[in-house]
Copies of this chain bind each other. A is one copy, B any other.
């Protein structure tokens, strides 16, 4: 859309003001100069109140995530890339090919436009890399002190991959439990910045789009029962959800769970359990025990799954308990996080 009567905004020096969300000319200018420029694609370029795309072939999958991570920038990513990865992964773990994203921004008055530009550029790069288009969006502005820089809600639409039937309710006794890589990197990358831990080896978020890894896995082992990304609440919350949905028990093998040395050390320092810490680029896979080796080798064949491991098994237990065989030979309950120790991790 041509905007001939506009004054260009200086993205270097200006800040978000209330007019950028007021539906008038400066909002149109911001959209034109920032969002349309970086996220540009034929659907977004339609310039209407929504986007029109061709018919999808398969059944429809939808997922949505509000992102309120603090700080906005962290080792290994920022709220822009995270908002793409988080929703792409939620669509992918449904057994679907992610296709389109919608993005809604709530900006705080006074937020530097230079930071917003970095975030939108990072979002655009993540979307390009994941092969999804940000087809439509919205921008609102709230007064200083009524928000926190920027919140981004992304909603993803995808089409179900033929023949795949995964659900948190499909775990069965005898199934194997796998994870695609070391746990807790994302959460501890955030916590290390927030608590200013000053680690020798900085912890880098694992934030990544998992649909490629998942497609490789499903091609090799289409009979996968459960896919779930252990985000908020980490492995413990995610496995407890699955065990409740499926009405089964899960027994983990502590020694087999991959945790980076620096993540384990930072957890100890802060009194946290790695099992409770969010990942943003890992997937839990539950499949028939007989297919565990095939699943493991499919995961390890992809760069994002190089450190995949079989970490436990599903057993009969109507109470839905998750337990862990510890490295000391004991067994303990793995409950999910009750408190509020890890707010705003995503």
Which of B66, B233, B320 is the one whose CB lies under 8 Å from A24? B233
Let me know if A220 is at the binding interface, CB within 8 A. Answer: no
A253 contacts which chain B residues (CB < 8 A)?
Answer: none
A189 contacts which chain B residues (CB < 8 A)?
Answer: none
Let me know if A82 is at the binding interface, CB within 8 A. Answer: no
Tell me the complex Cα distance, A106–B338, Å. 20
Let me know if A61 is at the binding interface, CB within 8 A. Answer: yes
A59 contacts which chain B residues (CB < 8 A)?
Answer: 52-55
Let me know if A140 is at the binding interface, CB within 8 A. Answer: yes
Let me know if A21 is at the binding interface, CB within 8 A. Answer: yes
Interface string of A136-174 (1 = CB under 8 A from B): 111111110111100101011100100000011100000
Which of B17, B22, B60, B337 is the one whose CB lies under 8 Å from A54? B60
Given contact pairs A49-B90, A245-B47, A344-B142, A62 touches B22 in the complex (Cβ within 8 A): no
State the number of copies, please.
2
Flag if A63 contacts B51 (CB, 8 Å).
yes
Number of interface residues of A (CB under 8 A): 94
Tell me the complex Cα distance, A277–B287, Å. 56
Flag if A62 contacts B53 (CB, 8 Å).
yes
Let me know if A290 is at the binding interface, CB within 8 A. Answer: no
Q: Looking at the assembled complex, report how far the CB atom of A36 sits from the nearest CB atom of chain B, in whole angstroms.
A: 13
Interface string of A284-319 (1 = CB under 8 A from B): 000000000000000000000000000000000001
Tell me the complex Cα distance, A340–B107, Å. 14
Let me know if A202 is at the binding interface, CB within 8 A. Answer: no
Interface string of A231-248 (1 = CB under 8 A from B): 111100100010011010
Let me know if A74 is at the binding interface, CB within 8 A. Answer: no
Flag if B148 contacts A50 (CB, 8 Å).
no
Let me know if A218 is at the binding interface, CB within 8 A. Answer: no
Flag if B60 contacts A52 (CB, 8 Å).
yes
Which residues of A (1-49) have their CB < 8 Å from a CB of B? Answer: 1-4, 17-19, 21-28, 46-49
